[in-house]
Amino acid sequence: MEWLPELKLGWSNGWLLLGAFYIIFGILMLLTPKDIVAKLFSVSGWSRQQVIFSVIGKPFSLACLGIIIFSPLKIGQNVFISGSVVFLIGFTGMMIALSNFRSTPSDQPVTQGLYRISRNPQWISLAAMFLGSCIAIGSWLAILLLLIAVVFYHFRILGEERACLNRFGEPYQSYLKRVPRYFMFF
């Protein structure tokens, strides 16, 4: 691991990991009904503070993404293997969570599958994919930027939960009491 790897364009850079996910994600979104996609990306019901914190977090996640894109993967090193394992765990979780989300009608809260053990499996899985990519390129700076972004995105998650509570009422309130926000945490 190093603070910042040499940044350069290359075919074996960290973009390979996240690029594969974003291609699959894009295809899934094209095949998903528009009302489900709208529910996935809705920011209605967020407070002004939640929107501001979400906006503040974006540059940190974009800087992390930039480092990942322009840093070579540490192929053949332990960090690459460790990072790839973390990435694959996150990727698998994201695919399962997206499937759970896509199969729930837009007028109902998502409470099946991974959503039975976490209210936010997509965000946790995305963070795991980014963390795995940061480890696979061996960059402490990318990990630090990711951690800062995750703190700010916590407020985005609070906004999503508030919006779901406003939209779905008592069934979602009951869900909030039963299921932790971040798997076993909180």
96-127 tens-digit pLDDT: 999 998 888 888 888 899 999 999 999 999 99
Rounded CA gap, 91 and 17, in Å?
10
Of 139, 161, 150, which Cα lies nearest the Cα of 61?
A: 150
Per-residue pLDDT tens over the stretch 17-66:
889 899 998 998 888 888 887 777 776 777 788 888 888 999 999 999 99
Q: At 94, which amino acid appears?
A: M
Query: Would you put residue 113 in left (φ > 0), alpha (ψ -120 to 50) or beta?
Result: left
Label residue 138 left, alpha or beta by phi (over 0 means left) and psi (-120 to 50 means alpha).
Answer: left
Banded model confidence at residue 79, pLDDT cuts 50, 70, 90: very high
- Angle, CA 112 vertex, CA 171 and CA 44 arms, to 5°: 55
Rounded to two decimals, the pTM is: 0.88
Q: Where are the domains of the chain?
A: 15-25+48-178
Q: What percent of the chain has pLDDT over 90?
A: 53
Q: At a CB cut-off of 8 Å and minimum separation 6, what does 78 contact?
A: none
Short-list 115, 86, 79, 100, CA closest to 18 = 86
Where would I find the H helices in 32-139? 34-41, 48-70, 78-102, 121-137
CA 129 to CA 123: how far, in whole Å?
10
Residue 32 three-state SS? coil
**Centroid of chain to Cα 75:** 24
